[in-house]
Homo-oligomer: A and B are copies of this chain.
Amino acid sequence: MAGTVDDLTLTKSGGTLVEHVMAAIRHRIASRSLAPGGKLPSIRALAQTMQVSKSTVVEAYERLAAEGVIRSRPGSGFFSAAALAPLSLAEIAPRLDRAVDPFWVSRQSLEARREVLKPGCGWLPGAWMPEDEIRRALRGLARTKDPTGLTDYGTPLGLAPLRAFLSRRLAEQGVEAAPDGILLADSGTQAIDLVGRLLLQPGDTVLVDDPCYFNFLALLRAHQVTVVGVPFTPTGPDLSLFEQALAAHKPRLYITNSGLHNPTGAALSAVTAHRLLKLAEQYGLVVVEDDIFADFEHDPAPRLAALDGFERVVRIGSFSKTLSASFRCGYIAARPDWIDKLTDLRIAAGFSSHRLSEELVLAVLGSSGYRRHLDALRTRLAKSMASVVPRLQALGVTPWTEPKAGMFVWCRLPDDLDAAAVARHALNENVVLAPGNVFSAAQSARSFMRFNVAQCADERVFRELERAMRLAARG
């Protein structure tokens, strides 16, 4: 047995081999390459990988188990301890052990129990949504004379009258898309994912804004591409750095929120939009314009799809932010040949669209109540913005720019505070915040935080933010 010898052998880093193996496992857990509750490699496999004896791995695993870092399940092997306890069925408690990565805000927000406050989340309170119109649409569908909408698969492109409706709406924004140039998707996120599957290969490079919507980073990670962030200014990406990135990295795609930018609430200027498209043409770049916040705008900002006419722009939209996040529907408007390929991809990856969701979205969108709802929403958001920003400023939390509209304000914390530390302290008290670096490919937003003014009605938000900042300042 080489175990005892191994155990005494010093590694280059100075520890014993057993400590070396322990450190490797700890690193895998910390870096999330081993998920909470995840199964560890078998003793034989790890011994082989790390070129140590099996008894060294046995010793390392036993010590980690004694420390509570991992657990043994007889007959099944060893598991990372974090999530071994069965999660509660009803709703899941905040997971303090979770790494502050691009999934942090989404999982903490989506998993949150009702008493949890979510100034960091990316959606409106349910009470702000058009509940009456939704109930009416459900009742209408319950008595529809055409039962195919209740039982049958959707068509490959998605519900034709909804595509016709979207085509008219896009035309109002100066975007020319025929109904058959629009593919409905199960969500805006799925729409972007499909575009990625069509246009990206592992190892490609994609440009995003820095900061950008964190789920772009999560999605691009799933596509195994290299992500390059271009610093964002209050009128769009910094174009000289954008061009440098184009020249240096030859990216295939640039993904951005055009109308209202997430997380900053800024909007593209006409000059930036025009120059950006010229650069895109020059460097053969495809631009994915995710216009999910379009309905929040007071004065429409320039749209890349309107300027470009789908030569190299793909337009994405969705209704999860203003209509309902419970029955979802996104869309892609793009070149006809891409739409055809995207349709095949969607069949491969999901077979058919969610016809009932499309029927409901169409019913609500077409109702007179929905336009009124949007008007009321914009006013309500503007009021919330006007009242929340001074409250944040009073705590030394400063807006980076004045948002054009919408629910987000992107702020710098005082005293170079670490926003991730602040967010962890707040989560302890059931407040989900959105620390800056989850939005930053380059981790350049350590002291920034995104606030959703619609989710800041409770006094406790400001109290807990102040407390969390105080605790973080102490280190």
Check A110 against B352 for contact (C-beta < 8 Å).
yes
Check A349 against B222 for contact (C-beta < 8 Å).
yes
* Chain A, 333-389, CB within 8 A of any chain B CB: 335-337, 340-341, 343-345, 347-352, 354-357, 359-360
> In the complex this chain forms, how many copies of it are found?
2
Q: In angstroms, how far is the closest chain B Cβ from the Cβ of A90?
A: 6
| Interface assignment of A414: CB less than 8 Å from any CB of chain B | no
Check B349 against A83 for contact (C-beta < 8 Å).
no
| Interface assignment of A156: CB less than 8 Å from any CB of chain B | yes
Instruction: Give the residue name and chain of the B residue nearest to A139 (CB).
Output: B142
Check A327 against B344 for contact (C-beta < 8 Å).
no
**A23-46 interface code vs B (CB 8 A; 1 in, 0 out):** 000000000000111110000000
Instruction: Give the residue name and chain of the B residue nearest to A198 (CB).
Output: B222
| Interface assignment of A56: CB less than 8 Å from any CB of chain B | no
| Interface assignment of A452: CB less than 8 Å from any CB of chain B | no
Give Cα A202–Cα B202 distance, bound, in whole angstroms: 9
Check B348 against A218 for contact (C-beta < 8 Å).
yes
Give Cα A164–Cα B90 distance, bound, in whole angstroms: 10
* Chain A, 73-113, CB within 8 A of any chain B CB: 76, 79-80, 83, 86-92, 103, 106-107, 110-111
Chain B residues within 8 Å of A153, by CB:
110, 123, 320, 325-326
Chain B residues within 8 Å of A131, by CB:
147, 150-151
Give Cα A311–Cα B131 distance, bound, in whole angstroms: 44
Chain B residues within 8 Å of A91, by CB:
155, 160
| Interface assignment of A135: CB less than 8 Å from any CB of chain B | yes
* One of A14-22, A187-195, A273-281 contacting the partner: A187-195
Chain B residues within 8 Å of A344, by CB:
35, 103, 107, 218
Q: Which of B123, B311, B352 contacts A76 (CB 8 A)?
A: B311
Chain B residues within 8 Å of A231, by CB:
none
- Take A151-B324, A340-B83 as given contacts and tell me if A354 and B352 are in contact as well, using a CB distance cutoff of 8 Å: no
- Take A106-B347, A150-B131, A189-B351 as given contacts and tell me if A178 and B324 are in contact as well, using a CB distance cutoff of 8 Å: no
| Interface assignment of A307: CB less than 8 Å from any CB of chain B | no
Check A218 against B152 for contact (C-beta < 8 Å).
no
Chain B residues within 8 Å of A129, by CB:
150-151
* Chain A, 414-440, CB within 8 A of any chain B CB: none
Give Cα A103–Cα B110 distance, bound, in whole angstroms: 35
| Interface assignment of A186: CB less than 8 Å from any CB of chain B | yes
| Interface assignment of A239: CB less than 8 Å from any CB of chain B | no
Check A135 against B126 for contact (C-beta < 8 Å).
no
| Interface assignment of A134: CB less than 8 Å from any CB of chain B | yes
Q: Which of B160, B178, B221, B351 contacts A215 (CB 8 A)?
A: B351
Give Cα A327–Cα B142 distance, bound, in whole angstroms: 13
**What are 25 A-B residue pairs whose CB atoms fall within 8 Å in the complex?**
A35-B337, A38-B340, A83-B340, A86-B178, A107-B156, A110-B153, A110-B352, A111-B155, A123-B152, A127-B147, A131-B150, A138-B138, A138-B141, A148-B326, A150-B326, A151-B326, A186-B354, A189-B350, A190-B350, A201-B202, A215-B347, A219-B348, A219-B349, A222-B348, A326-B359
Please name 15 further chain A to chain B contacts, defined as beta carbons within 8 Å, in addition to the given A76-B311, A107-B344, sorted by A numbering.
A35-B341, A80-B337, A83-B337, A83-B340, A86-B180, A123-B152, A126-B152, A135-B142, A139-B139, A151-B324, A189-B348, A215-B348, A325-B352, A326-B354, A327-B357
Q: Rank and list the top 10 A-B pairs by shortest CB-CB distance, nearest first.
A: A38-B337, A138-B142, A129-B151, A218-B348, A327-B356, A126-B151, A326-B355, A153-B325, A189-B351, A326-B356
